[in-house]
A and B are shown apart, each in its own frame.
Chain A
């Protein structure tokens, strides 16, 4: 069965520090991978996606993610975190077509001064 694991429930980083949020997936077919962000009281905003090609993908707000097939991972990174990045981050996996997305449990990011 498809599954997504985000091993870190909560991460706290200092403003200006680098960030890496981990995501591991289990998926039988070739996966499509996504990162969404949810600010408090807000909906899910797409940060970036990977379908094929270059395994390092760039997204909005300075985020990037790298697909590593051998490790079944799709970790999200940002070189310098801003206080406005504090939010919940969800990794999701799907496939071509109408396959529903499967989400991880999310990682809550706190940013301190």
Chain B
């Protein structure tokens, strides 16, 4: 079964450093998402991306965050200057245009900012 893949599975970074989290969505999917889950808290929406542009973003997705689809397969989340509170599991997700709103998630990238 096709799946969303994410790298790295775990990254430790120093506060203030830039981090790029990578995702390969399912190949025929057109909508892409990033969600995050701070330890012990709920899964929160960050941003959605369609047709090479952001279609919606949450309050969490401020100027330090950016997303990009640099080629036909990858979808990246960049955090420019990480803060301690950015420590979380980051989930990439994707869906087709015809599957209603069924979103398929990757296994997540666990980011620890020290």
Chain A residues engaging chain B, CB cutoff 8 angstroms: 32, 34, 36, 42-46, 49, 51, 90, 92, 94-106
Q: Is the CB of A98 within 8 A of B45?
A: no
User: In the complex, which range does the number of interface residues on chain B fall in?
Assistant: 20 to 34
Rounded to whole angstroms, the CA-CA distance of A100 and B45 in the bound complex is 7
Q: Is the CB of B41 within 8 A of A96?
A: no
Residue of B nearest to A103 (CB): B43
In the complex, which residues of chain B have a beta carbon less than 8 angstroms from the beta carbon of A103?
42-44
Q: Which of A44, A95, A99 contacts B43 (CB 8 A)?
A: A44
A/B interface sample: 14 pairs, CB < 8 A: A34-B102, A36-B105, A42-B108, A43-B108, A44-B43, A44-B105, A95-B101, A97-B101, A98-B50, A100-B45, A100-B58, A101-B43, A102-B45, A106-B42
Q: Mark B35-58, 1 if CB is under 8 A from A, else 0.
A: 100000111110010100001101
What's the dominant secondary structure at chain A's contact region? loop
Chain B residues engaging chain A, CB cutoff 8 angstroms: 4, 6, 31, 33, 35, 41-45, 48, 50, 55-56, 58, 91, 100-108
In the complex, which residues of chain A have a beta carbon less than 8 angstroms from the beta carbon of B31?
98
Rounded to whole angstroms, the CA-CA distance of A106 and B89 in the bound complex is 15
Rounded to whole angstroms, the CA-CA distance of A100 and B103 in the bound complex is 9
Q: Which of A43, A99, A104, A106 contacts B91 (CB 8 A)?
A: A43
In the complex, which residues of chain A have a beta carbon less than 8 angstroms from the beta carbon of B6?
43
